[in-house]
Amino acid sequence: MPAPRTETLNIQTKPIMKVLVVYHTTYGHTLQLARAVEAGVKSVAGVEAVFRRAPEFPHVEKELEAGDGYATKIWKDQKDIQPCTLDDLREADGPLLGSPTRYGNMTAAMKALIASTASLWLSGAMEGKPAGVFTSTATTHGGQETTCVTMMIPLIHLGMLIVGVPYSSEGMLHTEGRGGTPYGATTTAGPKGELAPTAEDLVRCGNPSDPGWGKSLLESMTRGGLWVGKGAVTCGVTPCHARWARAGFALAGYGPRRPTVKCQAARWME
Ligand SMILES: Cc1cc2nc3c(=O)[nH]c(=O)nc-3n(C[C@H](O)[C@H](O)[C@H](O)COP(=O)(O)O)c2cc1C
């Protein structure tokens, strides 16, 4: 009697989702948050984490190279991390962007990266992608909320769906001197950068056991990009968006694929 035929199925285990973690930092706090975000991304099966830094301005690079202070040390520690390109953004199924605050806004380097995406905006390449933001501030009220919310605005123009940190996330209701906003993961670095992100701050960045941001964001990406949270299209006014974010909704704006907006875009390009 012939032996039963056995077949080996050649199943390729290809990552189904590519999550881009892109950050900017001067003193390393946002880098620490970014690494925690990356760890959260990597903990989800079928998801590939792409880790990038926002390109530094040449004149700042020159200063950092010539210096010998703490910022130079942090700069040199990042030598093996590739700068983010437009292709990285285009190829990402979902980007997560982190920037320290500068007067309540993202840094110029992160803004320059986002401002270089005109071709992605015109082609609608980023539309419908889930996105999240995270930040570091020196002080408790130095801009955790404003930095996150202002970082969201260009992402909404690009047509992305923004997710904040739901209040069901562990440790969100607190009065301590640490991060934890509904708009994105945050940390408080201290006026001299003397503080480190707390364990709670890092959990909010991407701990897989966290029922909030990390889990809802990453698991939704693994489900083929379908959003598991509730979507909300709002009027586009920041306080209105902020209200939705506080309620745990994902945000959506009108991307350039809407015919009227596209016509306007075409006019701008003339
Ligand atoms: C020009 C400038 C503006 C800043 N503005 C603020 C601010 O508005 N609020 C605040 O809390 N910290 C402010 N900081 C401090 C940085 O946000 C702080 O150094 C940063 O969060 C540390 O993150 P990093 O270690 O990732 O660089 C500012 C720093 C600089 C250099």
Concatenate the DSSP letters of all residues of 43-91 into one string: TSTTEEEEEEEPPPPHHHHHHHHH--SHHHHHHHHTTTSPBP-HHHHHH
Mean pLDDT of 96-118: 97
Q: What is the pLDDT of residues 142-154, one digit of tens each?
A: 999 999 999 999 9
pLDDT at 83: 98
Closest CA to 22 of 102, 105, 112, 104: 112
Residue 51 has pLDDT above 50, yes or no: yes
Q: What is the pLDDT of residue 9?
A: 44
**Residue 21: helix, strand or coil by DSSP?**
strand
Does residue 61 or residue 217 have the better pLDDT?
Answer: 61
Of 77, 97, 103, 139, the residue with max ligand 1 atoms within 8 A of its CB, to mutate for a pocket test, comes to: 103
Global model pTM greater than 0.85: no
Residue 32: its pLDDT value, please? Answer: 93
Whole-number Å distance between alpha carbons of 138 and 205: 18
Strand partners, 53: 23, 83
Domains in the chain, CATH or no CATH each: 17-222 (3.40.50.360), 224-270 (no CATH)
| For residues 3-27, average pLDDT | 69
Pocket of ligand 1 (CB under 6 A): 25-30, 100-104, 136-139, 142-143, 189, 193
Structure tokens that stand for 205 in this block: 């960045």
**CA-closest candidate to residue 161, choices 230, 109, 99:** 230
State the average pLDDT over residues 174-202. Answer: 89
Q: Relative to the CA of 135, which ligand 1 atom is closest?
A: 21
More confident residue, 90 or 238: 90
- When pLDDT is cut at 50, 70 and 90, the band that residue 185 belongs to is confident
Q: For position 119, what pLDDT does the model report?
A: 96
Mutate to test the pocket of ligand 1, among 21, 74, 137, 205 (most ligand atoms within 8 A of CB): 137
Answer whether 99's CB lies under 8 Å from 110's CB.
yes
107 C-alpha to center of ligand 1: Å?
9
Q: Which residue has the higher pLDDT, 254 or 73?
A: 73
pLDDT score of 76 more than 50: yes
Q: Which of 13, 31, 12 is nearest to 205 (CA)?
A: 31
Q: What is the predicted pLDDT for the residue at 164?
A: 77
Reported as a pLDDT band with limits 50, 70 and 90, residue 233 is very low
Dist. CA 15–CA 3, nearest whole Å: 36
pLDDT band at 234, cuts 50/70/90? very low
Averaged pLDDT for residues 249-270: 42
- For position 166, what pLDDT does the model report? 73
Q: Ligand 1 centre and the CA of 106: distance in Å?
A: 9
Lowest model confidence (mean pLDDT) among 127-141, 168-182, 252-266? 252-266
> What local confidence, expressed as pLDDT, does residue 92 receive?
93
Single out the residue of 63, 64, 22, 26 nearest to residue 41, CA to CA: 22
Atom from ligand 1 closest to the CA of residue 99: 26
